[in-house]
Amino acid sequence: MGNPQGNQALTTEFVVASVGRRLGLSVAEPIIVHLPAVLAGMVRDHPEAPILQPGPAFASAHIADAEEKYEFTAALKDDNPRRHVGIWALWELFLGDDAQWIYSMSNDEATYSFDHSLWLARHEADWNRELLTQEVGNTWDRFTTDTSYFDPTEVRRLALALRALAPEEILEILVQVPVEWETSTSDLEALGWFLATRRFHVADRLDALNP
């Protein structure tokens, strides 16, 4: 909390990753960690880092031999033809931004999506009901247009999974957002509506990949 991007970035991180995991996508596992009071006031070893505040923070589980890249590569390695379908769909579902990926170098460059703090079209600002209503049905292509190698079985599975994602499952994720992050109930309701509505748009786009 207190990071330069604002506390809503923590909510964005948690919800994007949690929905991705619920859909069975290749996303770094989200974890809420609690920073103890003894850390309060400490300064991390970085000139732009905020002073640490105690309380809930967002973290991702460690990925072995991880290498961060800004290029979407290794298309045919590991089972990336399957993994990349989910990453592409997650980006579309959550209005992705700031493209960067984790590659597990000891696992044939298996690709993971992570660092979603600027997603939901945040651009270093907060999303709200107005923005989500404006973007709910829009196409959001930003980081790759090459889908020729996508696993068609995963494309079909994910389209079905999106349509089957119940509002109750979305609500189950939203209610886990710590109140200390100060995302308003109104904004969480808007995000729940956005996801429950937009999942059909993304499912239709996936269907279009398998004519």
User: What integer best gives the mean pLDDT of the chain?
Assistant: 93
pLDDT of residue 203: 98
Pairing of strands 101-104, 110-113: antiparallel
pLDDT digits 0-9 by tens, 99-148 = 999 999 999 999 999 999 999 987 778 999 999 999 999 999 878 889 99
pLDDT for the residue 79: 94
Query: Which residues is 56 bridged to in the sheet?
Result: 34
Q: Among positive and negative, which fits the CA dihedral 48, 53, 56, 62? A: positive
Q: What is the tens place of the pLDDT at every residue in 62-78? A: 999 999 999 999 999 98
Q: Is the pLDDT of residue 42 over 70?
A: no
Q: What is the mean pLDDT of residues 30-39?
A: 91
Q: How far apart are the first and last CA of the chain?
A: 46
Instruction: Look up residue 134 and give its two tokens.
Output: 């404006």
Spatial CA neighbour of 206 closest among 142, 126, 139, 108: 139
164, 146, 145: which is closest to 203 by C-alpha? 164
pLDDT (tens digit per residue) in 122-132: 777 899 999 99
pLDDT tens string 150-201: 999 999 999 999 999 999 999 999 999 999 999 999 999 999 999 999 999 9
Given a cut of 70, whether residue 90 has pLDDT beyond it is: yes
Q: Nearest-5° angle of CA 59, CA 110, CA 194?
A: 55
Other beta carbons within 10 angstroms of residue 13's beta carbon come to 23
Chain mean position to CA 102: 13
pLDDT of residue 45: 65
**The pLDDT of residue 123:** 76
DSSP 108-125: TTEEEE---TTTTTTTTS
Distance of CA 189 to the CA centre of its chain: 18
SS3 205: helix
Going by C-alpha positions, the residue among 80, 79, 60, 88 that lies closest to residue 158 is 88
pTM confidence score: 0.94
pLDDT score at 44: 62
Task: Please say if the pLDDT value at position 98 is more than 70.
Answer: yes
pLDDT tens, residue by residue, 2-26: 888 899 999 999 999 999 999 999 9
3-state SS class at 210 = coil
Q: Is the pLDDT of residue 31 over 80?
A: yes
Q: Count other Cβ atoms within 10 Å, centred on residue 64.
A: 9
Q: Give just the sign of the alpha carbon dihedral 76, 77, 82, 86.
A: negative
Domain boundaries, the chain: 8-209
